[in-house]
Amino acid sequence: MTLGAENIEYQDVLTGCASFAVVAVGGSSIGITWGFLTGIVTRITDRTPSIEPVFVFVMSYLAYVSAEAVQMSGILSLTCCGITMKNYVEANISAEAQTTVRYTTKMISHASEAIIFLFLGVNTVHDQHQWNTPFILLTVLFCSIFRGIGVVILTGLANRFRLHKLDWVEKFVMSYGGLRGAIAFALVLSIDPKTIPFQPLFVTATLSVVYFTVFFQGITIKPLVKLLKVKREETLVKTMNERIHDRMIDYSMAGVEDVLGTTGNFILRNRFKQLEERYIRPLLLKVNTGHEPKILKTYSELTMRDAVNFASSNPMTWPNGKSPGSFVGLLTNVPSEGSMSSVRIGAHVNDGIELGETGSVAASPTVKFEC
């Protein structure tokens, strides 16, 4: 059977749509399943923290391989596996393992990106190309147009649930800054030239789209953002007050929806949180600290920051006669006997640092220094 509009029937269109849905949902389900399995495994690795990063990387790779083995979406499987691990695996592994996973992932991502662009450069000077100016120009044009249409439709749906509505300037920037094409390039190389004679033309058109988006759009996006005065990303750590008020508003809106008898975004999220707190978190987490993990995490981060500021700004006379120079040095000072005043810091492995406690902290490893 050859390609052509005359050979396509409505059954083929329905089969393609159903196949797209099955591949997407199937790949996502496989990734979530492997994320849950990783959470169950990392519950019992507290005695061997050195192998925790191994489980994270190996089981992530198994999520991708198992999805590809049954012809599902490996990319969606890997993405959903990472989202699940962020929620249920990060709390199980030690701080050292988290740092190892974070920086190893960054290193691998930069290396993979360099290899991809190296591969693109090698295939650019390959002799098996077919140039067709109208086809390539129309490909670049239609890719840009349909990306804009997709952004407008999806942001319109997202604005129905967002407090900060995306305006047309932000939509234009989102439409303009995209379409790298590395995945499309990998797919087009998998086409058999014997089955599809126009495979060299598809490769040339894909490379043209990649170079247009990387060089032209990539070079002009920064001046364009400055010209349109688009708000830049700000690294902002929410305070405990903001976290509590956000959660109070969520619960209030869920209660309003429940009273009105409607099923909206807030009540669905509230029901999922109840299901998660009752069944999922006790099954996957080794230490289920409470009903609001984000609030507890914010508290730990803010308390750690206060401890670091206290250690760096408070003038003290240290036992060894010199300042430690860093918070790590502060924690490694040897206690001195017979001191007149003491400061104790309880270093909780999972719950952060509690500052200002007098006396020992029960059932938690502590580091104490006296001066």
In this prediction, residue 4 carries a pLDDT of: 61
Distance in angstroms (rounded) separating the CA atoms of residues 60 and 74: 10
Do 197 and 270 lie in a common domain? no
The answer to whether the CB of 67 falls within 8 A of the CB of 14 is no
In this prediction, residue 294 carries a pLDDT of: 64
**pLDDT band, very low/low/confident/very high, at 22 (cuts 50, 70, 90):** very high
Do 78 and 91 lie in a common domain? yes
Do 114 and 223 lie in a common domain? no
**pLDDT band, very low/low/confident/very high, at 361 (cuts 50, 70, 90):** very low
Do 113 and 2 lie in a common domain? yes
Q: What is the mean pLDDT of residues 40-45?
A: 87
With 60 as the cut, is the pLDDT of residue 39 above it? yes
Structural domain ending residue among the three candidates 107, 125, 143: 125
Bridge partners (DSSP) of residue 83 are none
Do 76 and 34 lie in a common domain? yes
Output the CA torsion 190→83→146→160 (10° steps).
160
Do 94 and 165 lie in a common domain? no
Range of the domain at 258: 240-284
Angle subtended by helix axes 133-159 and 168-176, to nearest 10: 140
In this prediction, residue 91 carries a pLDDT of: 82
With 90 as the cut, is the pLDDT of residue 3 above it? no
Tokens of 173: 């920037």
In this prediction, residue 196 carries a pLDDT of: 83
What is the tally of structural domains in the chain? 4
Bridge partners (DSSP) of residue 344 are 368
Structural domain ending residue among the three candidates 108, 125, 142: 125
> pLDDT higher for 245 or 98?
98
Beta strands per DSSP E along the chain = 342-348, 352-355, 367-370
DSSP class of residue 368? E
DSSP class of residue 94? -
Phi, psi (5° rounding) for residue 139?
Answer: -65, -45
Helix (H, G, I), strand (E, B) or coil at 191: coil
Do 137 and 33 lie in a common domain? no
Do 279 and 223 lie in a common domain? no
Contacts by 197-204 with C-beta closer than 8 Å and gap 24+? 198/130, 200/128, 200/129, 200/130, 201/130, 201/132, 201/135, 203/123, 203/128, 203/129, 204/129, 204/130, 204/131, 204/132, 204/136
Angle (CA) 280-353-307 rounded to 5° is 140
Q: Residue 139 carries which side chain, given as an amino acid letter?
A: T
With 50 as the cut, is the pLDDT of residue 123 above it? yes
Tokens of 247: 């959660």
In this prediction, residue 338 carries a pLDDT of: 42
Do 62 and 105 lie in a common domain? yes
> pLDDT higher for 35 or 47?
35
With 70 as the cut, is the pLDDT of residue 325 above it? no
Do 38 and 68 lie in a common domain? yes
Averaged pLDDT score across all residues of the chain: 76
Closest-CA residue to 174 (of 139, 141, 149)? 149
**Highest-confidence range of 213-227, 307-321, 326-340, by mean pLDDT?**
213-227
Q: Which range has the worst mean pLDDT, 4-8, 225-229, 356-360?
A: 356-360
Q: How far is CA 266 from CA 248, 258, 270, 280, 319, in A?
A: 12, 10, 6, 20, 55
Question: CB under 8 Å to 27, separation ≥6 — which residues?
Answer: 67, 72, 73, 74, 75, 76, 77, 80
In this prediction, residue 295 carries a pLDDT of: 64
With 60 as the cut, is the pLDDT of residue 120 above it? yes
Bridge partners (DSSP) of residue 370 are 342
DSSP annotation string for 264-326? -HHHHHHHHHHHIIIIIHHHH-S----S-HHHHHHHHHHHHHHHHHHHHHS----TTSS--SS
Structural domain ending residue among the three candidates 249, 284, 319: 284
> pLDDT higher for 11 or 153?
153
Do 118 and 141 lie in a common domain? no
Structure confidence by residue, pLDDT tens digits, 288-303: 655 566 666 667 777 7
Do 17 and 53 lie in a common domain? yes
> pLDDT higher for 334 or 187?
187
Question: CB under 8 Å to 216, separation ≥6 — which residues?
Answer: none
Q: What is the mean pLDDT of residues 72-101?
A: 89
In this prediction, residue 357 carries a pLDDT of: 38
Structure confidence by residue, pLDDT tens digits, 137-182: 999 899 888 888 988 998 888 888 777 788 888 888 888 876 677 7
Structure confidence by residue, pLDDT tens digits, 216-273: 888 888 888 888 887 776 666 666 677 677 777 776 777 777 777 776 666 677 777 7
In this prediction, residue 366 carries a pLDDT of: 43
The answer to whether the CB of 81 falls within 8 A of the CB of 60 is yes
